[in-house]
């Protein structure tokens, strides 16, 4: 009994768990890390991450407080945000994300994608397309693919 309580307390105090605490926050960070030099509105982020605006609003407060994203401008009542590329945590997350893209086939084969997981479907579609191109070339591509760059 004490062991479970101790484990839970450790997990709750883990900066890794606290940063990536909600699926919405993970999706928001994923969008910003994939588009590091892009200014995005709440609507842009909501559409790309397949989350509600209220989910973005709740999580943006934490992300701004941690200096991971910043409000960069306001135009006609629309606020725009961008990734703080100088933040050390963002640098670590970007490197981890790049490394995970190198293992996209492994992760894709071993994880279940929910029907409404828009970004996951894009990543899987692109990974399959890349696999077909690799088969044609007879090689395995090492370069990470940015699913959000797909038109």
Residues 82 and 132 in one domain: no
In 10 A of CB 84, how many CB atoms? 20
Residue with the larger pLDDT of the pair 84 and 147:
84
Asked if residue 59 and residue 22 are part of one domain, the reply reads: yes
Whether residue 96 lies inside any domain: the answer is no
Q: Report if residue 21 sits inside a domain.
A: yes
Number of domains composing the chain: 2
Q: Is residue 14 part of a domain?
A: yes
CB 114 within 8 Å of CB 120: yes
**Predicted confidence band at 37 (pLDDT cuts at 50, 70, 90)?**
very high
Domain holding 56, by residue range, is 1-88
DSSP code, position 14: -
Residues 56 and 125 in one domain: no
* 115 and 139 together in one domain: yes
| Residue 139 binned pLDDT confidence (cut-offs 50, 70, 90) | very low
pLDDT at 113: 64
Q: Do 74 and 6 share a domain, yes or no?
A: yes
- Looking at the structure, do residues 1 and 50 belong to the same domain, yes or no? yes
CB atoms under 10 Å from CB of 19, counted, come to 16
Same domain, 2 and 67: yes
> Do residues 12 and 6 make contact, with C-beta atoms less than 8 angstroms apart?
no
Residues 11, 17, 19, 23: is their CA dihedral positive or negative?
negative
Q: What is the overall mean pLDDT for the chain?
A: 79
- 16/112 Cα distance (integer angstroms): 23
User: Do 147 and 77 have their domain in common?
Assistant: no
Contact 89, 96 (CB under 8 A): no
């Amino acid at each position: 009994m004490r062991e479970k309580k101790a484990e839970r307390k450790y997990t709750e105090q883990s900066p890794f768990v606290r940063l990536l605490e909600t699926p919405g926050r993970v999706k928001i960070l994923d969008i910003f890390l994939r588009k590091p030099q892009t200014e995005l509105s709440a609507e842009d982020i909501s559409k790309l991450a397949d989350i509600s605006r209220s989910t973005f609003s709740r999580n943006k407060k934490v992300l701004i407080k941690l200096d991971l994203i910043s409000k960069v401008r306001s135009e006609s009542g629309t606020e725009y945000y961008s990734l703080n590329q100088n933040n050390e945590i963002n640098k670590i997350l970007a490197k981890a994300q790049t490394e995970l893209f190198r293992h996209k086939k492994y992760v894709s084969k071993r994880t279940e994608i929910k029907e409404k997981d828009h970004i996951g479907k894009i990543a899987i579609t692109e990974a399959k397309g890349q696999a077909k191109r690799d088969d044609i070339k007879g090689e395995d591509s090492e370069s990470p693919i940015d699913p959000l760059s797909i038109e």
